[in-house]
Chains A and B, each alone.
Chain A
Amino acid sequence: MRIRLHRKALVWPVVILLAAVSALPGHAADEGRLRGEIDIGLHLLDLDGSSYKHGEYSGADRDGIYFTGAMDLRYSRGSRYYLDLKAERLGYDSRVVRLDTGLYGGYKLSVGYAEIPHLISNSSSTPFYGAGEKRLTLPAGFVTASTTPGMTTLPSSLKDVKLELDRKASTIGFSTPLRSGVDFKITFKNEQKEGVKSVGGPLGSEGSSSVVLPEPVDYSTSDITASIAYKGEEANVDFKYHLSVFDNNNESLTWDAPFIKFVALSPDFPAIARTSLPPGNRYQNFSLSGGINLGNSARISAIAEYGIMEQDADLLPYTINPASTVGTPLPRRTAETEIDVRHLEVNLWTRPLKGLDVNTRYRYYETDNRTPSDLFRGVFNDTGNQAAPDGDTAAYNLPFDLKQNRINVDATCRLWQRTTFKAGYELDDVQRSHREISRIRENTYTAKLTTRPNLSTSLTLNYAYGERRGGRYEESRVFEALHTQDYINTLTPDVRFDNHPDTRKFDIADRDRTRYGANLSISGISDAFIGIYYDHREDEYRKSVFGLRSTESDAFTVDLTMTPADFATIHAFYTYEHLSSSMNSRSYGEGASKAVQSSDPTRNWSVEQNDRNDTVGVGVDFLLLSRRLTIGVDYTLERSITDTGFTAGSALEAPARMPELTTLQHRVGVKARYMVSKEKTIGLEYKYENYSSDDWSTDGLDYATIAQVLPLSLSVKDYEAHAVFLTFTYRFDSGN
Chain B
Amino acid sequence: MIRIYRLACRQKIMVRAGSVLLTAFLVLFLTTSSQTASSTEHLSAEECYSCHKTTKKADLDARHRKVFFVAREGSLETQGCEACHGAGGEHKKAVDKDEKEMRIEAFREGIGLSEDKNGKCLPCHKGGDLNFWKGSGHDMAGVSCASCHTIHGKAAPVRSAVCFKCHPQRRAQYQRSSHMPVREGLMECSSCHNPHGSSGPNLLKKASVNETCYDCHQDKRGPFLWEHPPARENCVNCHEPHGSNHASLLKTRVPYLCQSCHATQGHPSTIYEGGGVAGGSANRRLLAKGCLNCHPLVHGSNHPSGTRLTR
Task: Judge whether A709 is part of the interface by a CB distance below 8 angstroms.
Answer: yes
Is the beta-carbon distance between A655 and B274 smaller than 8 angstroms?
yes
Task: Judge whether A663 is part of the interface by a CB distance below 8 angstroms.
Answer: yes
Is the beta-carbon distance between B305 and A376 smaller than 8 angstroms?
yes
Residues of B close to A646: CB separation below 8 A? 271, 273-274
Q: What is the CA–CA distance of A272 and B61 in the complex, to the nearest angstrom? A: 63
A583-B126 in contact given A343-B199, A575-B168, A700-B279 (Cβ < 8 Å): no
A311-B302 in contact given A547-B260, A586-B263, A663-B176 (Cβ < 8 Å): yes
Nearest-neighbour CB distance to chain A for B283, whole angstroms, equals 8
Is the beta-carbon distance between B265 and A588 smaller than 8 angstroms?
yes
A699-B278 in contact given A246-B219, A275-B311 (Cβ < 8 Å): yes
Is the beta-carbon distance between B287 and A398 smaller than 8 angstroms?
no
Residues of A close to B35: CB separation below 8 A? none
8 A Cβ contacts from B220-248 to A? 220-227, 229-230, 232-234, 237, 245-246
Task: Judge whether A194 is part of the interface by a CB distance below 8 angstroms.
Answer: no
Query: CB-defined interface of A630-642 with B at 8 Å, one 1/0 digit per residue?
Result: 0000001010101
Task: Judge whether B95 is part of the interface by a CB distance below 8 angstroms.
Answer: no
Residues of A close to B261: CB separation below 8 A? 499, 503, 505-507, 547-548
* Segment at the A interface, from B37-45, B66-74, B83-91: B66-74
Q: What is the CA–CA distance of A303 and B130 in the complex, to the nearest angstrom? A: 12
8 A Cβ contacts from B282-308 to A? 282-284, 286-290, 292-297, 299, 301-307
Residues of B close to A87: CB separation below 8 A? none
Task: Judge whether A412 is part of the interface by a CB distance below 8 angstroms.
Answer: yes
Task: Judge whether A128 is part of the interface by a CB distance below 8 angstroms.
Answer: no
Partner of B307, one of A369, A378, A503: A378
Is the beta-carbon distance between B71 and A337 smaller than 8 angstroms?
no
* Inter-chain residue pair count (beta carbon < 8 A): 405
Is the beta-carbon distance between A116 and B289 smaller than 8 angstroms?
no
Is the beta-carbon distance between A397 and B135 smaller than 8 angstroms?
no
> Looking across the interface, which residue of chain B has its beta carbon closest to that of A614?
B172
Is the beta-carbon distance between A559 and B168 smaller than 8 angstroms?
yes
Q: How many residues of chain B have a CB within 8 Å of chain A?
A: 104
Q: What is the CA–CA distance of A3 and B299 in the complex, to the nearest angstrom? A: 43
Residues of B close to A583: CB separation below 8 A? 256, 259-260
Q: What is the CA–CA distance of A701 and B289 in the complex, to the nearest angstrom? A: 12
Residues of A close to B33: CB separation below 8 A? none
Task: Judge whether B50 is part of the interface by a CB distance below 8 angstroms.
Answer: no
Is the beta-carbon distance between B282 and A707 smaller than 8 angstroms?
yes
Task: Judge whether B253 is part of the interface by a CB distance below 8 angstroms.
Answer: yes
A202-B131 in contact given A104-B66, A498-B265, A709-B287 (Cβ < 8 Å): no
Most buried by B among A229, A303, A507, A535: A507
Query: CB-defined interface of B134-148 with A at 8 Å, one 1/0 digit per residue?
Result: 110001111000000
Is the beta-carbon distance between B218 and A547 smaller than 8 angstroms?
no
Residues of A close to B253: CB separation below 8 A? 609, 642, 644, 661, 697
A279-B302 in contact given A359-B135, A609-B252 (Cβ < 8 Å): yes
Task: Judge whether B171 is part of the interface by a CB distance below 8 angstroms.
Answer: yes
Query: CB-defined interface of A284-317 with B at 8 Å, one 1/0 digit per residue?
Result: 0000011100000001010101010111010111
Is the beta-carbon distance between B61 and A74 smaller than 8 angstroms?
yes
Nearest-neighbour CB distance to chain A for B233, whole angstroms, equals 6
Q: What is the CA–CA distance of A93 and B42 in the complex, to the nearest angstrom? A: 53
Q: What is the CA–CA distance of A59 and B197 in the complex, to the nearest angstrom? A: 35
Residues of B close to A79: CB separation below 8 A? 70-71
Nearest-neighbour CB distance to chain B for A46, whole angstroms, equals 20
Is the beta-carbon distance between A347 and B73 smaller than 8 angstroms?
no
Is the beta-carbon distance between A613 and B172 smaller than 8 angstroms?
yes
Residues of B close to A585: CB separation below 8 A? 259, 263, 269, 271
A212-B288 in contact given A104-B70, A310-B223, A450-B141 (Cβ < 8 Å): yes
Nearest-neighbour CB distance to chain A for B167, whole angstroms, equals 9
Q: What is the CA–CA distance of A535 and B245 in the complex, to the nearest angstrom? A: 19
8 A Cβ contacts from A684-700 to B? 693, 696-700
Residues of B close to A588: CB separation below 8 A? 265, 269
- In terms of DSSP, what is the predominant structure of the interface of chain B? loop
Is the beta-carbon distance between B132 and A652 smaller than 8 angstroms?
no
Most buried by B among A118, A349, A367, A698: A349
Is the beta-carbon distance between B223 and A365 smaller than 8 angstroms?
no
Q: How many residues of chain A have a CB within 8 Å of chain B?
A: 171
- In terms of DSSP, what is the predominant structure of the interface of chain A? strand
Is the beta-carbon distance between B245 and A642 smaller than 8 angstroms?
yes
8 A Cβ contacts from A577-597 to B? 577, 581, 583, 585-590, 594
Task: Judge whether A573 is part of the interface by a CB distance below 8 angstroms.
Answer: yes
Query: CB-defined interface of A71-106 with B at 8 Å, one 1/0 digit per residue?
Result: 000100001101000001000001000000001110
Residues of A close to B233: CB separation below 8 A? 400, 402, 432, 507
Residues of A close to B280: CB separation below 8 A? 656
A318-B304 in contact given A338-B223, A557-B169, A613-B245 (Cβ < 8 Å): yes
Is the beta-carbon distance between B311 and A341 smaller than 8 angstroms?
no
8 A Cβ contacts from B190-222 to A? 199, 207-208, 211, 214, 218-222
Is the beta-carbon distance between B275 and A656 smaller than 8 angstroms?
yes
Nearest-neighbour CB distance to chain B for A332, whole angstroms, equals 9
Nearest-neighbour CB distance to chain A for B44, whole angstroms, equals 18
Residues of B close to A378: CB separation below 8 A? 304-305, 307
Q: What is the CA–CA distance of A400 and B225 in the complex, to the nearest angstrom? A: 11
> Looking across the interface, which residue of chain A has its beta carbon closest to that of B116?
A296
A573-B302 in contact given A585-B269, A587-B270 (Cβ < 8 Å): no
Is the beta-carbon distance between A283 and B265 smaller than 8 angstroms?
no
Task: Judge whether B110 is part of the interface by a CB distance below 8 angstroms.
Answer: yes
Nearest-neighbour CB distance to chain A for B267, whole angstroms, equals 8
Task: Judge whether B181 is part of the interface by a CB distance below 8 angstroms.
Answer: yes
Nearest-neighbour CB distance to chain B for A622, whole angstroms, equals 20
Partner of A200, one of B246, B277, B292: B292
Is the beta-carbon distance between A371 and B172 smaller than 8 angstroms?
no
Query: CB-defined interface of A359-403 with B at 8 Å, one 1/0 digit per residue?
Result: 101010101010100001011111000000000010101111010
Task: Judge whether B47 is part of the interface by a CB distance below 8 angstroms.
Answer: no
Partner of B140, one of A200, A316, A380, A410: A410
Is the beta-carbon distance between B222 and A347 smaller than 8 angstroms?
no
Residues of B close to A546: CB separation below 8 A? 263
Residues of A close to B254: CB separation below 8 A? 697
Nearest-neighbour CB distance to chain A for B208, whole angstroms, equals 7
A659-B175 in contact given A246-B221, A349-B135, A590-B265 (Cβ < 8 Å): no
Partner of B232, one of A381, A400, A589: A400
Residues of B close to A609: CB separation below 8 A? 252-253, 256
Residues of B close to A711: CB separation below 8 A? 287-289
Give 11 CB contacts A-B under 8 Å. Answer: A58-B184, A79-B71, A219-B218, A236-B127, A301-B131, A301-B134, A339-B222, A365-B207, A607-B256, A655-B274, A711-B289
| Contacts A276-B301, A505-B261 known; 9 new A-B pairs at CB < 8 A | A200-B293, A201-B311, A219-B219, A274-B311, A303-B132, A382-B311, A500-B269, A697-B287, A711-B288
What 7 A-B pairs are tightest by C-beta distance, nearest first? A236-B127, A359-B135, A656-B274, A700-B278, A655-B273, A575-B172, A349-B135
